[in-house]
Chains A and B, each alone.
Chain A
């Protein structure tokens, strides 16, 4: 099974966790996630998630000049995003424990 398919439901939480660690931008979020084992993800998966998070007001952004290329959107987490992330972590911890127990037989 492809990692991307399995990740779809939890990608918002993962991206939000990266954003919660400090102001960042789409390309950097992708490479951070790739460095942490999410090798199958690319920008085409992450930027649309950022659009969704923006619409849900879980992230806010500021446009800053970039030395190379266009003005860059720098994202940071909003209070609503923090609340969602806390809820996501609780749900994920409970779910991952249950799945691990099940898989161990």
Chain B
């Protein structure tokens, strides 16, 4: 397994722990059976993600094992750049297959790797990525972050409504979303995720070494900071009042419908922006 894959597994596990901590703090210690199920689901999803990463790593390692060290090292870096690009999953696989074909045949002919990729690896890969889709464009970032935000809101709304007894007109109206939660999710979706993606792209394109790759963890300070803020909010009554103030979001069927429209529009725009 490459070091980069190890780093991804570390990041997934870290995010899982962070999510659990956030969740426990948001529920303010009142842990019920329902919450235990949600926590279990988070852990299962994280374990599944780690398992997928290890399996993918194993498969790729097997494919790369026939290449010389020189070719393997460059191809691993190119794969890392593909991974953090915004093209569709199918296009990513297609590009990886093309590169593996080129590298396998070029290695067989004992061509130097620089003869294949030239001096600038990023420019070489951009030729493929630009044909596969528009890489890293504003429409993609906007639709992706909006989609995440809407999913977060629906998830917390569902949790609240189920906790109150089920989905009815009354429970919809009686479970407003607080300003603190909406604000935190907005920051995570619109600031944290784009920043994390941008850092990961930069790290891959500039081929950061292991030490410098730790900088990718910097955006994690945003959710950690927000957790700290929420934890200390009880010391500041005015802040607590501000955080707990309800926002009339998703409190009627019409607003739920509007939320679904926004979600659908984000998905369509995201797909379209990848073409």
Quick one: given A44-B117, A69-B66, are A27 and B102 in contact (CB under 8 Å)? yes
A39: shortest Cβ distance to chain B, in Å? Answer: 12
For residue A35, give the distance in angstroms from its CB to the closest CB of chain B.
Answer: 14
Question: Contact at A52–B131, with CB atoms within 8 Å?
Answer: yes
Report yes or no: A44 in contact with B124, Cβ–Cβ below 8 A.
yes
Measured between beta carbons, the chain A residues less than 8 angstroms from B124 are 44
Knowing A48-B131, A70-B97, say if A43 contacts B104 (CB, 8 Å).
no
| CB proximity to A under 8 Å, residues B93-145 | 94, 97-98, 100-102, 104-106, 108, 115-118, 124, 127-128, 130-132
Asked if A82 lies at the interface with its beta carbon under 8 angstroms from chain B, I say no
- Indicate if A65 sits at the interface (CB-CB under 8 A): no
* Residues B127 and A45 in contact, CB atoms below 8 Å apart: yes
- By the criterion CB–CB under 8 Å, are B127 and A69 in contact? no
CA distance A42 to B218 in the complex (A): 39
Is B168 positioned at the interface, with any CB of A under 8 Å from its CB? no
Known A-B contacts A27-B105, A69-B66, A69-B105; A44 and B98 likewise in contact (beta carbons under 8 Å): no
> How many of chain B's residues have a CB under 8 angstroms from any CB in A?
22
Check B131 against A51 for contact (C-beta < 8 Å): yes
Residues of A within 8 A of B116 (CB): 42-44
In the complex, are the beta carbons of B101 and A70 less than 8 A apart? yes
Contact with B along A12-45 (1 / 0, CB 8 A): 0000000000000111000000000000001111
Contacts of B117 in A (CB 8 A): 44
CA A12 – CA B45 in complex, angstroms?
45
**B73 on the interface (CB 8 Å rule)?**
no
Query: Does B61 interact with chain A (Cβ within 8 Å)?
Result: no
Residues A26 and B102 in contact in the complex (CB < 8 Å), given A44-B118, A48-B128, A52-B131: yes
Given A44-B118, A51-B132, do A27 and B101 touch, yes or no (CB 8 Å)? yes
Q: Is the CB of A69 within 8 A of B132?
A: no
On chain B, the residues within 8 Å of A48 by CB distance are 127-128, 130-131
**Complex interface: chain B residues within 8 A of A55 (CB):** 131
The residues of A that contact B106 with a CB separation of less than 8 Å are 27, 43
How far is it, in angstroms, between the C-alpha of A49 and the C-alpha of B98 when the chains are bound? 12
Give the Cβ gap from A99 to chain B, nearest Cβ, in Å: 27
Chain B residues within an 8 Å CB radius of A42: 115-116, 118
Complex formed: what's the CA distance from A51 to B98 in Å? 10
Shortest Cβ distance from B99 into chain A, in angstroms?
8
Within 8 Å by CB of A47, from B66, B102, B115, B118, lies: B102
Decide yes or no: A69 and B131 within 8 Å by CB, A43-B116, A44-B124 being known contacts: no
> Do B105 and A71 have beta carbons less than 8 Å apart?
no
Q: Are A26 and B98 in contact (CB under 8 A)?
A: yes
CB of B63 within 8 Å of the partner chain:
yes
Tell me the complex Cα distance, A43–B128, Å.
10
Question: In the complex, which residues of chain B have a beta carbon less than 8 angstroms from the beta carbon of A45?
Answer: 127
What are 27 A-to-B residue pairs whose CB atoms are below 8 Å?
A25-B101, A26-B101, A26-B102, A27-B101, A27-B106, A42-B116, A43-B102, A43-B116, A44-B116, A44-B117, A44-B124, A44-B128, A45-B127, A47-B102, A48-B130, A48-B131, A51-B94, A51-B131, A68-B66, A69-B66, A69-B101, A69-B105, A70-B100, A70-B104, A71-B97, A72-B101, A73-B97
Which A-B residue pairs are the 4 nearest by beta carbons?
A69-B104, A51-B131, A48-B131, A43-B102
Which B residues have a C-beta under 8 Å from some C-beta of A?
63, 66, 94, 97-98, 100-102, 104-106, 108, 115-118, 124, 127-128, 130-132
